[in-house]
Structure 1
């Protein structure tokens, strides 16, 4: 699985359900839906698409049991509305999905409809295994800016299902009690670093303004992309670690470690996200930390009523990200492309389906559907929506580590932890990280 900080891992696995982890059925489980007499409805929100020719769509997804159950109900609802379209579903947990899909791809038997993740979609597009969905009319269903952010080479290969993003969350009462100026949305990196310095001067010695995440490659990448230098892996293949920007960022944190602005390496690596006793924020050791739309509800439950969401710091090009990381795609070799597209459009726009699916894939991409289920949402779900609203104004696209760069991610973490513990210099770490990045680039370009 992709190696990310624990608050980041939840992003592409599931959104609101991320806090409870992944459970699932075996990858081989299938259950064909029966054809049911359609139910008449006068509501425009529940009108089914034109049926076209009969089809049995193979569909595959990963997720929790709650997601499985809700999706099966949605498929049954679709068949009620479009009786000549039935489904052969296959569903599993995250690991099982990504173990099986490459085998299906190798035999040219990718399902008609499949769930896709932002970290993997480019590699399947590059191999010509996903259909171009650019001709789908999603006007009024998906925000055009979101669609632009998820296009690959100007084309749409996956319809986004839910809203996601990354921001920060802070302990408002503690900061106010110490007389510290509160963070604010769309603050710059200079504002962020100034906040950290001021808070260090005013907080008790055993409390820290921010975490030390210099061992997490993503945290630096936010800074590099915000400065307009692009992601570390451009186009999913080209290694692009900007040396001057990297040293500028790392030297700031090196000084923070000397001045006690961030926890010691020993303390930092002992933290465990969302653990009541070991979470840096919940334990009262750190006043602000990162969180995703999918995980922030779990954070809020640790300190109910005390936390406020905030955007990531921004640079000249923006900052953080807010978009979908989970999609429905169509197999390039599907003989039922038109029916698959009709189904996907229904899946993200039909209000009855929206009520059935709820937040099992996160905050629905369609604002109308979100508003229809909003009264039933938990406080954690609503807190996630607040974070999304804080993150999206200046958000950049989501840039995950491409499949095949796992060694780079692991090396980055190991080398920077050695720096945090004072066992090697930044120069030494940079040399090793760059070598591993170039190795990853060579491997990625062979695929």
Structure 2
């Protein structure tokens, strides 16, 4: 998504990255994905007529491949819908998020914009996005996924693709050493015991799992146990359960002593998707975190050797499976109805589906995916497998709240100090909890 990053290891989710679920048919709309009741009419050629000629501004980020596919899809919609034209604008990820705040400040966001799970709550809180709850997604997106995406009971982004967090594992080496492969819906207790048992069968210098220092690794654990996410209500509520925190990280403390996870120095040198430095591709660690979107890169490094499973679960479930990339409508758009028609078309029209392919991940609409599936490589099918394994027990995707970026960095720094033996788990908890509590109080005021 945005280049190489140090591995967050086995329990760390990858927040950006490419998107959610789906259920059955295209919802009963016509071949163009337009509801008969919403269209303004059709001409003799079967094109849908807009009531008046409109130009929709649309803005997105991505690769050149995504740019070209999207422009072709816009041309297709314009051909099918007389009177509609587009003003497209596209750029790289960093440039997009540098420009969007400026447009928001001047209330000049384009009619349609691509949105990411890491930022959508922030723009909803600013009143910049239109409520899309009236767009009929029945039979297109799994109702549970739609519910997980709602903010304050309303839907502000139409999910574009299926994404999920899971664990990739080196099935070839695990089988070589006689270690049972991970099974779907394993619990955290089973995950931890699997790591202990695997350690006994692995040679020196190889480790069953990686260490974890990032906040979302613990957040997976806390929410799976039925507790609130670490950050909720836009950052106004902060919950860092001390008992769970101590249990989780004392387990990893035990693992460091038993060489079940790599030493801190080795872990700090890992780089995901680097042939020599990736924890799993390098042959050092048998498992690592992966998402629907990211596992394809790992499969390219280790063709035929990668297996996948869902995140460990607790009484409330575990991991997440939903979309992390959306299309939204500007609250200041003068063409909201046409923009909403376009959004539904974008995920239901079969020709659009072929044109867009996998440029935004595995399509959210199962009908579109079914048409594409025969053409997919094994690396792409692995991503779909992560999603299918995860969706049953999945929890919502929890991103860091606005204003918590420094806290996220502090969490990682303090927990790294723990891995190096420079401070106790309890001292780290006190610092992290104090800062989070203060930020939540500030957000609430």
Instruction: Report the CA distance between 1:175 and its aligned residue.
Output: 1.6
CA contact (8 A) 2:6 2:271 kept: no
Could you tell me which runs of 5 or more consecutive residues in structure 1 were left unpaired when the two chains were aligned: 17-42
Equivalent residues in 2 for 1:4-83, closer than 5 Å: 5=7, 11-14=15-18, 44-46=30-32, 50=39, 51-83=50-82
Tell me whether 121-130 or 222-231 shows the greater mean CA deviation: 121-130
SS in 1 for 2:31: helix
Is 1:248 aligned with 2:234? no
Aligned-partner Cα distance in 2 for 1:92–1:288: 34
Residue in 1 aligned with 2:414?
415
Instruction: Give aligned pairs, total.
Output: 419
Aligned-partner Cα distance in 2 for 1:46–1:153: 31
Residue in 2 aligned with 1:211?
210
Among candidates 219, 222, 225, match of residue 224 of structure 1 = 222
Instruction: Report the CA distance between 1:4 and its aligned residue.
Output: 8.6
Could you tell me which runs of 5 or more consecutive residues in structure 2 were left unpaired when the two chains were aligned: 21-28, 40-49
Tell me whether 353-362 or 6-15 shows the greater mean CA deviation: 6-15
| 1:148-206 deviations in Å (ceiling 9; x for gaps) | 11011111111101110110011122222222222100000010001001011111121
Instruction: Report the CA distance between 1:76 and its aligned residue.
Output: 0.7
Instruction: Report the CA distance between 1:445 and its aligned residue.
Output: 3.6
CA contact (8 A) 2:232 2:401 kept: no
Aligned-partner Cα distance in 2 for 1:436–1:94: 29
SS in 2 for 1:228: coil
Residue in 2 aligned with 1:97?
96
Residue in 1 aligned with 2:266?
267
Instruction: Report the CA distance between 1:385 and its aligned residue.
Output: 0.7
SS in 1 for 2:317: coil
Equivalent residues in 2 for 1:106-121, closer than 5 Å: 106-121=105-120
Residue in 2 aligned with 1:20?
none
Aligned-partner Cα distance in 1 for 2:33–2:360: 23
Residue in 1 aligned with 2:234?
236
Aligned-partner Cα distance in 1 for 2:80–2:8: 41
| 1:213-245 deviations in Å (ceiling 9; x for gaps) | 1x1111111000100112110122121111111
Aligned-partner Cα distance in 1 for 2:230–2:398: 8
Aligned-partner Cα distance in 2 for 1:239–1:420: 24
| 1:370-429 deviations in Å (ceiling 9; x for gaps) | 111112222211111111111111100000112321101100111111110001111111
**TM score, norm. by length of structure 2:** 0.90
Aligned-partner Cα distance in 1 for 2:19–2:228: 26
Residue in 1 aligned with 2:404?
405
Aligned-partner Cα distance in 1 for 2:51–2:299: 47
SS in 2 for 1:209: coil
Is 1:315 aligned with 2:314? yes
Instruction: Report the CA distance between 1:140 and its aligned residue.
Output: 1.7
Tell me whether 350-359 or 104-113 shows the greater mean CA deviation: 104-113
Q: Larger relative CO (CA 8 A, sep 6+): 1 or 2?
A: 2
How large is the RMSD of aligned CA atoms in angstroms? 2.0
